[in-house]
Amino acid sequence: MTDTLTPESNVTAVPAAPPAETRVMRLRNFWSDYRQSWVAIAALIVIVALVLGAFFAPFLVPQDPYDLAKLDWLDAFLPPGTEGSGGYAHVLGTDNAGRDMLSAIFYGLRTSFVIGISAGALALAVGITVGLTAAYFGGRIEALLMRIVDLQLSMPAILLALVMVAMLGQGIPQIIFALVVAQYAYFARTTHGAASVERRKDYIEAARSTPLPTWRVMFKHLLPNVLPPLIVVATVQVASAISLEATLSFLGVGLPLTEPSLGTLISNGFKYIHAGRYWLSIYPGIFLMITVVAINLVGDQVRNVLDPRNSR
Amino acid sequence: MTDPILRIENVSKRFTRMPGLAERLVGKVTGGGKPVVVHALSDVSLNVAPGEVVGIVGESGCGKSTLGRVVTGIYAPSDGRVTLHGKPIARERGGNIDKLTTQVQMIHQDPFASLNPRMKVGETLAEGPRHHCIIPAGEVRARMRELLEKVGLEGAYADRLPHQFSGGQRQRVAIARALAMEPDLLVLDEAVASLDVSIQAQVLNLFMDLRRDLGLTALFISHDLSVVRHVCDRVAIMYLGRLVELAPADQLYAEPKHPYTSALFASVPTVGTGRRVFEAIKGEIPSPINPPSGCAFHPRCPLAGPRCRVEVPRLTDAGPARTVACHLNDGGVGLQDAAA
């Protein structure tokens, strides 16, 4: 055991040792597992296309639906495919103010994504902090925090979001705040579950007894080991934030028609559905459905890949 | 003997489990629902001199790991004091433990649980020294490579994750992590128990080499008597949270004085004469929630007399540098009931 372990002689032994696993390799493994399902690949492509479409909407769609000066009353209620005064075909028709529905949908998607992703990310941050704190400190802190979380989980998220929006008023920041309040509990519960298991392991005790400061043990040692289940919850919660926002807007407490999200568009068109102007509601609805389903499908596949029982 | 580096003075550790709300409510009716107290350590005293390796031996559940954790500052003692260089190791504040020193480090039993699976081992090693400025920032990387080589690994392994190592290699990493803090005292909690026998020997040899080179002081917690004999200068035998015998290793192995120590030796399987005779100690280790009266070992002791059932034996001198807690050693009063 003595001379084989000197650094010089080990230089020759290095090739025999397994190569260090890099982040790139882990990502590559993840991808090769992920692509096993063609449905998940299709869903991923759909999401990427929708996000890109929403992000570059100003360059892709014929009209800026927010610019009231560009809207023409004469173009109102044109059925899908009709050419309007702008000299181009309204592929998905126009609404009661002469807005091109395709343009409005992509601008609406943009709002929906901004709200869904930022609400999801903030709820994740808040939920992680609450869940980790509860699991790390235990005792009364844990009891208090987790009872609040349980209380919240026992109520429908939409009800809580409605109350919050009623208190805060309309607008994108208010909606995001309401969604975070409604959704952080899911993250807190998931984090708490995973973290209470990891908390008892020796590496946490080793880090604590070094000693390292509490925040460092929590966020450098505990957090990285509870992330995989959170990634899954995060994707699902983004989808759920988008549909919650759409619901709020549909109920008329979300965003005003001047900055429409998909929910606002559906709600606006709903008034005319009995007049046979189906395209005002149906198309935003289809886009909303595709978005939410695609995100959920991706989330399912991510869960399958990260599930240790399915690992190779 | 030089001044001890570590003093454990009359340390007791009790764990209390408070009943939940529901249990308390049920308890109102049935009379149960009271707090459950486990006496993990009772009145343990032990000094460790610089450069000395002291073995702590006992069956599972005897409190040896608790003692290790009290010394490492993971638990605070319920009673008594633990001091390193005369200063307390940890203090309790509002239910949380603040560890006050970096000079005691622990090596855990299971190297598969004691390393953060998502942290490169180089980072695991460097984290503590960097945070406590033990090594100048510019030298950390070089020192970590040096340390990995010192424990018989390659410096280039610093960029790997724990799952790329075998159990023996991981335990080497755990030893390197403890050494990185340049501790004055190491606590090895069953540090080789979960390794294969051949790997055990390698890790033990590493420990002996390091001990020789660095002059390590250590508490070596183990249930394996042959390993302890190989490694330790003095050995403390524990039973149900109490120290029952403390003696230099060679003397203890030559002539055990406590009936429990003799029984432990009799239960060790040995290779040699062909026919293996080993006696298991009869009975189960009693519950530390409800320890027996008098000497805790009396229900299982072949020599127990009436006095053992009522009076707790104290640690008394039994020759140079030896102490035993047994009425047999009590200046001739013997095992009869002292009152009778």
For chain B, domain boundaries: 6-103+183-338
pLDDT score, position B274: 54
Residue A252, pLDDT above cutoff 90: no
CA distance to A210, A257, B104, B160, per residue, from B178 (Å):
8, 63, 9, 18
Of A243-252, B184-193, B216-225, B264-273, least confident by mean pLDDT is: B264-273
CA–CA gap between residue A203 and residue B226 (Å, rounded): 28
CB atoms within 10 A of CB A259: 16
Q: Using only C-alpha atoms, what is the Rg of chain B?
A: 22
Q: Does B200 touch chain A (CB under 8 A)?
A: no
User: What residues of chain A lie within 8 A of the CB of B202, using their CB?
Assistant: 1
CB contact (8 A) between residue A211 and residue B73:
yes
Choose from B116, B157, B165, B170 for mutation: most chain A CBs within 10 A: B116
Q: Which residue of A has its CA nearest to B99?
A: A211
CB contact (8 A) between residue B116 and residue A203:
yes
Percent of chain B with pLDDT over 70: 93
Q: Quote the crossing angle between the two packed helices A157-168 and A172-199, to the nearest 10°.
A: 140
User: What residues of chain A lie within 8 A of the CB of B105, using their CB?
Assistant: 209-210
Q: Are B149 and A5 in contact (CB under 8 A)?
A: yes
Q: What DSSP string runs through B157-209?
A: GGGS-GGGS-HHHHHHHHHHHHHHT--SEEEEESTTTTS-HHHHHHHHHHHHH
Task: Tell me, letter by letter, the H, E, C secondary structure of chain A.
Answer: CCHHHCHHHHHHHHHHCCCCCCHHHHHHHHHHHHCCCHHHHHHHHHHHHHHHHHHCHHHHCCCCCCCHHHCCHHHCCCCCCEECCCCCEECCCECCCCCEHHHHHHHHHHHHHHHHHHHHHHHHHHHHHHHHHHHHHCHHHHHHHHHHHHHHHCCCHHHHHHHHHHHHCCCHHHHHHHHHHHHHHHHHHHHHHHHHHHHCCHHHHHHHCCCCCHHHHHHHHHHHHCHHHHHHHHHHHHHHHHHHHHHHHHCCCCCCCCCCCHHHHHHHHHCCHHHCCCHHHHHHHHHHHHHHHHHHHHHHHHHHHHCHHHCC
Of A93-97, B137-141, B298-302, least confident by mean pLDDT is: A93-97
Q: Are A239 and A299 in contact (CB under 8 A)?
A: yes
Of B1-5, B73-77, B170-174, least confident by mean pLDDT is: B1-5
CB contact (8 A) between residue A1 and residue B149:
no
Q: Which amino acid is at B277?
A: V
Confidence label for A15 from pLDDT (cuts 50, 70 and 90): very low
**Model confidence pLDDT, tens digit, residues B154-172:** 988 998 889 889 999 999 9
Identify the residue whose tokens are 């109490």. Answer: B242
CA distance to A218, A229, A292, B127, B274, per residue, from A186 (Å):
19, 11, 18, 32, 64
Residue B266, pLDDT above cutoff 50: yes
pLDDT score, position B334: 56
DSSP category for residue B26: H
User: What residues of chain B lie within 8 A of the CB of A224, using their CB?
Assistant: 116, 118-119
Residue B26, pLDDT above cutoff 90: no
Confidence label for A8 from pLDDT (cuts 50, 70 and 90): very low
CB contact (8 A) between residue A206 and residue B155:
no
Residue B302, pLDDT above cutoff 60: yes
Q: Is the pTM of this model over 0.90?
A: no
CB contact (8 A) between residue A18 and residue B159:
no
pLDDT score, position B273: 55
Distance from CA of B205 to the nearest CA of A (A): 9
Identify the residue whose tokens are 């390993």. Answer: B227
Instruction: Tell me if residue B130 falls in helix, strand or coil.
Output: helix
Strands B104-107 and B185-189: parallel
Nearest to A14 among B99, B117, B156 (CB): B156
Provide the β-strand partners of residue B90: B99
Segment B95-109 mean pLDDT? 89
**Token output for B186:** 């190491």
**Model confidence pLDDT, tens digit, residues B128-151:** 999 999 888 888 889 999 999 999
Residue A206: which of B124, B98, B89 has the closest Cα? Answer: B124
Q: Are B307 and B335 in contact (CB under 8 A)?
A: yes
Q: Are B295 and B245 in contact (CB under 8 A)?
A: no
Confidence label for A63 from pLDDT (cuts 50, 70 and 90): confident
Q: Does A32 touch chain B (CB under 8 A)?
A: no
CATH architecture of B6-103+183-338: 3-Layer(aba) Sandwich (3.40)
Task: Tell me, letter by letter, the H, E, C secondary structure of B238-299.
Answer: EECCEEEEEEEHHHHHHCCCCHHHHHHHHCCCCCCCCCCCCCCCCCCCCCCCCCCCCCCCHH
Of A102-111, A120-129, B36-45, B277-286, least confident by mean pLDDT is: B277-286
Q: Are B176 and B127 in contact (CB under 8 A)?
A: no
CB contact (8 A) between residue A205 and residue B160:
no
Confidence label for A20 from pLDDT (cuts 50, 70 and 90): low
Residue B115: which of B78, B156, B165 has the closest Cα? Answer: B165
Nearest to B117 among A17, A137, A225 (CB): A225
Distance from CA of B78 to the nearest CA of A (A): 18
Percent of chain A with pLDDT over 70: 91
Confidence label for A169 from pLDDT (cuts 50, 70 and 90): confident
CB contact (8 A) between residue A220 and residue B102:
no
Q: Does B161 touch chain A (CB under 8 A)?
A: yes
pLDDT score, position A170: 84
Percent of chain A with pLDDT over 90: 46
**Token output for B167:** 């159990």
